[in-house]
Amino acid sequence: MAPNNIKIHEHFKVVPTSSTQTTTPLTYFDIFWLRFHPVERVFFYTLPNSQSHPSFFFQNLVPNLKSSLSLTLQHFPPLAGKIVWPSDSSKPFIQFNPNDDDDNGVSLLIAESSLDFNHVIQNSPQEASLSRSLIPYLESTDSFASVMSIQITLFPKNGFSIGITTHHAVLDGKSSTMFIKAWAYLCNKVIKTEEESPTLLPELEPLFNREIIKENNSIESLSKIFPSEKGNERSLKIFPFEPKLEESVRATFKLTCEDLDKIKQRVLSKWEIFDTNESKPKNLSSFVLTCAYSLVCIAKAFQGVEKEKEKFTFAFTIDCRSRLEPPIPNNYFGNCVLGHFINTQPLDFIKEDGLNLVSKSIYDQIKLIKEKGVFEGTKDVFAKYTSLASEGVEIIGVAGSNRFGVYETDFGWGRPKKVEIVSIDRGLTIGLAESKNGNGGVEVGLVLKKDVMELFSTLFLEGLSID
């Protein structure tokens, strides 16, 4: 059922313009995410008043978006399929059958919202639930799971949004960004050149060849990752990671290049205190600085409001494409990420020198991965997760990246006004994106309880004003 502020106009199943049946295996990189919650992202675009009138939008813009989506799926046919796990198969796989109209195709909702567009896209804290109405549902059952669903929502007289929900076992962040950029590129082509079958740029052509991913015994088996429920060993139903919306607000914070440089100087000025064996690095990445600064502010905000919450750790994923032996192409489409925990003490985040301790731990973990390979420390990652959670340690994650270039996604009506990772509300997660101004800064999205967000905002902004 649609929320009160949403009116559903149409519901399509969009299929590739022409395609043959495909079966795509899932690698160990994919299977790790098999029952993890989907990734939900929404892109907001402004339109001139005339183009955002309902009759013009639904009769002119929506057909362009729909036809270019079908063209794009011709290059990405697995996205129009389903994850299945037949009884005669030891592993699940993705299957697309162009002759099966009921079970294939990308769900596309065309909707209209009564929400205030300018309110929804603002960075300051607002109800966490608002963005949820702009994101489509992804179907999953014991026997199958859809791969992707999309919702296009008009805000009359202002603009529109594209909400995209993707199954994490089929796409990682780099792959989902590649898809939406490919769709935007072909939509532009359809509008400006009226080509019937435009070609994609080489860097947007996906590579689905699973044979280039070699099996690895360092990864925990599927049975360890998802302990069997008796009689339900082959279930593909996504675990119910429900959004944490009650009394929660969603907000976006910015770190400029100058902010990041200030944080870097602060961290490096005390580096030798925490490491006398190695010389301090010449540089620290924006990822290390953004995460460390945000993590410490989150931990201290939680501890300031809920005194009993004082133990924290950080888990992040790392793109393995260039780090495998041999490296695999950048346009490999699927999952090629592994999760890592940093090696900190649970109380480090709330200490006076928390920023230095956490920065160094993230830096050291990335350095270890570079020196010993991406599989270092991943063998027991799920067991570690379970152990930490049982000890009352709050595990903070991260989604997105400031290297994806999401603000470059132009469908023909200009760059996005805002991009949000909505699914960060399903856990304690930082959402990262590059600055929409293209100035090298970083955007940080968060969903927290209102009182925690208020203290976080104070700590975040005050920390940047200290010289």
Catalytic residue annotation: 168, 410
Question: Which candidate, 217, 191, 173, 224, places its Cα nearest to that of 383?
Answer: 224
Q: Are strands 93-96 and 144-146 parallel, antiparallel or unpaired?
A: unpaired
Q: State the chain's maximal CA–CA distance in angstroms.
A: 68
Q: Supply angle C-alpha 64, 66, 72, rounded to 5.
A: 100
DSSP 61: I
Burial class (CB in 10 A: 0-12, 13-18, 19+), 119: exposed
Q: Copy the structure tokens of residue 205.
A: 């052509």
Instruction: Identify the residue whose tokens are 């989604």.
Output: 399
Question: Which candidate, 414, 405, 407, places its Cα nearest to that of 52?
Answer: 414
Q: Copy the structure tokens of residue 145.
A: 């799971």
Q: Is the distance from CB of 219 to CB of 382 less than 8 angstroms?
A: no
Across the beta sheet with 144-146, the strand order is 22-25, 93-96, 82-84, 144-146
For residue 282, what are the CA distances in angstroms to 258, 264, 265, 276, 311?
17, 10, 11, 16, 31
Q: Is the distance from CB of 12 to CB of 81 less than 8 angstroms?
A: no
For 113, the 3-state DSSP assignment is: strand
Residue 457's Cα: distance from chain center in Å?
Answer: 23
**Cα–Cα distance, 287 to 295 (Å, whole number):** 12
For 100, the 3-state DSSP assignment is: coil
For 371, the 3-state DSSP assignment is: helix
Burial class (CB in 10 A: 0-12, 13-18, 19+), 187: buried
Question: Which candidate, 247, 359, 248, 215, places its Cα nearest to that of 296?
Answer: 359
Question: Which candidate, 91, 390, 383, places its Cα nearest to that of 227?
Answer: 383
DSSP 207: B
H or E element, residue 172: none
For residue 22, the one-letter residue type is T
